[in-house]
Amino acid sequence: MHTAIVVFATMLVIAAIATFNARRQPSAPNRITPGKVSAAIVVVAGVCMALLGFIGIAVLFMHAEQDGFGVWIGLLVTGALLVGFMAPSLTHAHDVTWESDYVEGPAHMFGLTLGWKRHRVDWRDIVKTGKTLTGYDYLETHDGRRIYWSYLYPGFGRFEHALRSRSNFR
């Protein structure tokens, strides 16, 4: 029963965040970008986790202990992965921009997150939209190129409105 309550509460929080971000103004006209504050918090938390894991491993080695080694390694690796996956969101690598004739944005998934590669596609080349298993939305061109974005991008509703109004599909 407790699990169901936690799942339901999580769903409500995610729905509230998505609704809030859909209505927020983009960080700049015709640009949506991952939330920099939340990305920075995750990166700082990841650095702290990695450092704590490293320190824990160092202490175990100094005392020739092996109990708890897996926990410290897990903390180190998890922290490093958080930093690696979220640090690009602090740059403009994951931004989606649009003008009257094109859309530009992140073009590939890297594991559960977005990679560094970007595409620029003409509005007329977009043939469909979809959603990945990890919750990213995407648009796709006739030749298979994709641009990804998330409901966690403040102002994503404005981009989706532009997508619906300018694309040659409905």
25 and 100 housed in the same domain: yes
64 and 140 housed in the same domain: no
Which CATH number fits the domain that encloses residue 128? 2.30.29
Average of pLDDT values for 88-116? Answer: 85
Give me the percent of the chain exceeding a pLDDT of 90. 25
Q: Which ranges constitute the DSSP H helices of 35-112?
A: 36-62, 69-86
56 and 82 housed in the same domain: yes
The total domain count for the chain is 2
Q: Is the pTM of this model over 0.75?
A: no
Q: How far apart are CA 124 and CA 49, in angstroms?
A: 46
Comparing 159 with 113, the larger pLDDT belongs to: 159
Domain range for 142 is: 2-32+96-166
110 and 138 housed in the same domain: yes
Residue 109, amino acid: M
- Among 24, 56, 89, the domain-final residue is 89
154 and 105 housed in the same domain: yes
Comparing 147 with 113, the larger pLDDT belongs to: 147
